[in-house]
Amino acid sequence: MNEFASCSMTQAASSRASSNRAQEDAWVAASQAGDTQAFNRLILSWERRIYNLSLRMLQDREEAAEATQEVFLLAYRHIKRFRRDSRFSTWLYRIAINHCTTRITQRPPGTHYSLEDEAGNPCRQLRTAENQYHDLLRSEQRSRVLAALSYMPAEQRAVIELKFFQELTFEEISAVLGVALSTVKSRLYAGLEMLKTRLGCKPD
């Protein structure tokens, strides 16, 4: 692929992203004005991502489906409070993470859930911006990864989820969680070390 073609593809992707955000902003504005159809479009756009986030956080399919419904109900009730000084995704992720964390903390001590991956597909590669753990889960099965996540404190699990599965930047995660950038990084690396221990990964 030549440089011109690569540049054209990048510009096209950027244009699509801008168009999608403009459409989402329009739906948010309409939702705040009481347009339930516009809010339904937001649900359709974000439902799968919020469900998958809830599933990995909660480790239970029925609970994740229930939590997803509750997240959107909370978003609908409070949509008028969204000031639009940040992205809608930041606001929605914050609601989802807080709701899942509350559910986790209300469980009896020592409770762990485990998901089995029927397909047995390898877990997607996880990479940090610094690329320090690029081989961490290369050969691990998804069921083992999810089982390991179930032992992780909720605040660490949230950072792992937002960084590797939702592919947010450290700055975006900081905005979602409302904590300092240094706190995000320390939780991430502590969580990764716990994952490596649980998965029996060899030291670098």
* Full set of structural domains in the chain with CATH: 3-105 (1.10.1740.10), 114-204 (1.10.10.10)
Q: pTM of the entire structure?
A: 0.76
CA of residue 164 relative to chain centroid, distance: 8
Q: Looking at residue 85, what is its pLDDT?
A: 82
pLDDT tens per residue across span 124-167: 333 333 343 444 444 445 667 777 888 888 999 999 999 988 98
Band of the pLDDT at 78, cuts 50, 70, 90?
A: very high
Burial zone of 99 (CB within 10 Å; 0-12 exposed, 13-18 middle, 19+ buried): buried
Please tell me the distance from the alpha carbon of residue 23 to that of residue 41, in angstroms, as a whole number: 10
Residue 109 pLDDT > 60, yes or no? yes
Band of the pLDDT at 196, cuts 50, 70, 90?
A: confident
pLDDT tens per residue across span 91-100: 999 999 999 9
Contact 29, 42 (CB under 8 A): no
Among candidates 149, 70, 79, 161, which has minimal Cα distance to 113?
A: 149
Gyration radius from the chain CA atoms: 18
Which is higher by pLDDT, 14 or 36? Answer: 36
Q: What residues pair up with 141 in beta bridges, in sequence order?
A: 122
